[in-house]
Structures are given as structure tokens and as C-alpha cells.
Amino acid sequence: GQNIDQPTEMTATEGAIVQINCTYQTSGFNGLFWYQQHAGEAPTFLSYNVLDGLEEKGRFSSFLSRSKGYSYLLLKELQMKDSASYLCAVRFLSGGFKTIFGAGTRLFVKA
Amino acid sequence: NAGVMQNPRHLVRRRGQEARLRCSPMKGHSHVYWYRQLPEEGLKFMVYLQKENIIDESGMPKERFSAEFPKEGPSILRIQQVVRGDSAAYFCASSFDKRDYGYTFGSGTRLTVV
């Protein structure tokens, strides 16, 4: 079956760096996504990885290792507004493309 | 270019009533996905539709739930005879192509069953 694991909660300090890990088990892997979701709001797309390696986009970077079924989201120079849930999602091919989401990691940024 | 529009934003229904949730995808998008999110939980896939077709409904409960995406008009997620366990946030997402880099989500409909 398909499964995604990520930590439930993390706390970090403003200005610091935080790494949010995600492991997955799936067949027919076709890409990994990270979304940010503030409480009571819709998820917003952050990053997409389909090949191994690091994708950098401003303060956010995402890494993928397909052989290990592992990804991480790296947030640099943390700001208070980064307090949110971060959802790891995997797209796979199963009769058609489907995307499943992990339960999300709630990040608390403290001053 | 308006984003994905969902309405209503909040919906309160008594047990046994019907709930209708609407989703208008982004202009030019023909792929629509519905997800359900329970409090403190992740998004659970429900159904994937293209215009006039249900592509994948493997996440839909077998009873009381149905979805459509007609040729004209928004996609509708319909829940008949709602129960308290149906209380959740229902998000709709759309994409131009099934292999798009990422979905654009609507603001969601928060259904409360009393």
C-alpha cells in the first residue's frame, strides 16, 4: 500500500533553520510535493521533486532520495509567519495519477 | 484570473439533511480533485474528475457521497443524509493537466453537522 510518514510537530526559533523530514512507501512513484497550510486556510504549493537532489527556492529547499523513499523540506531564516502545517504529498501511478498526503507537520516558530 | 472558487465557505446541516458543496476550477483547468480534512489530520483523497467523467473515486465512501463535474457549471460534491462524522473541511483542487506540478486549492468548505 501507499504510506507517508512525517513528524507531528516541530518547534524552532525565529531566524534559525529547520528540516522537516518525510518518508514514503509507494509503487509507481511520480513526484513528491510539499505544501504549506496555515490554520483554517487552503494548502499552498511550495515545491516539487521528481528527480534525486536538492531544489532551492528562496528560503525554502526540498530534497529527494527516491532509493530511500525520503524527502526533506528545509526552511532557512525562519520567520514567525512560517508557523504552519507542512504537508508532504506523493503522486503515483495507479491506473491513473493519484496524489496522497501525509498528516502534516505542525511547525511552531518562537521568538 | 480567479483561483479555485469553493462555496459555501461554511455550511451547517442537521443530521439527515443533504449537503451540496460547489467547486469552480481555475479558468482553463479541466481536472478537479476533492479532498477531505478532519481536524488535526491530513488531506484524504476522495475523488478525481474531469469534465463529465469520474476518473477515480476510490476515496469516496460507498454510500451517501457522490460527485459530478458537468459540462457546464461547477463540480458538485453531494452528501446525503449527513451524520456528525461528516463534519470536516472539504477542499477542492484543480489542475490543467493530470501531470501538473502542483494543485491549486480552493479555500475549502467547512461542513458542520449538528
DSSP code of residue B15: T
At A16-47, the pLDDT tens digits run 999 999 999 988 899 999 999 998 888 999 99
Instruction: Specify the pLDDT at position B24.
Output: 96
pLDDT of residue A1: 74
pLDDT digits (tens, 9 = 90+) for A48-71: 999 999 999 899 999 999 999 999
Average confidence (pLDDT) over A75-86: 97
| Min distance A86 CA to chain B CA atoms (Å) | 10
Residue A45 and residue B103: Cβ atoms within 8 Å? yes
- Tell me what pLDDT residue B16 has: 97
Gap from A87 CA to chain B (nearest CA, Å): 8
| Residue-wise DSSP of chain A | --EEE--SEEEEETT--EEEEEEEE-SSEEEEEEEEE-TTS--EEEEEE-SSEEEEETTEEEEEETTTTEEEEEE-S--GGG-EEEEEEEEEESSSEEEEE---EEEEEE-
- Tell me whether residues A45 and B41 touch, CB distance under 8 A: no
Determine, for residues B91 and A42 on separate chains, whether the beta-carbon distance falls below 8 Å. yes
pLDDT tens per residue across span B84-101 = 999 999 999 998 876 666
State the Cα torsion A42-B108-B3-A51 to the nearest 10°. Answer: 50
**Predicted local distance difference test score (pLDDT) of residue B1:** 52
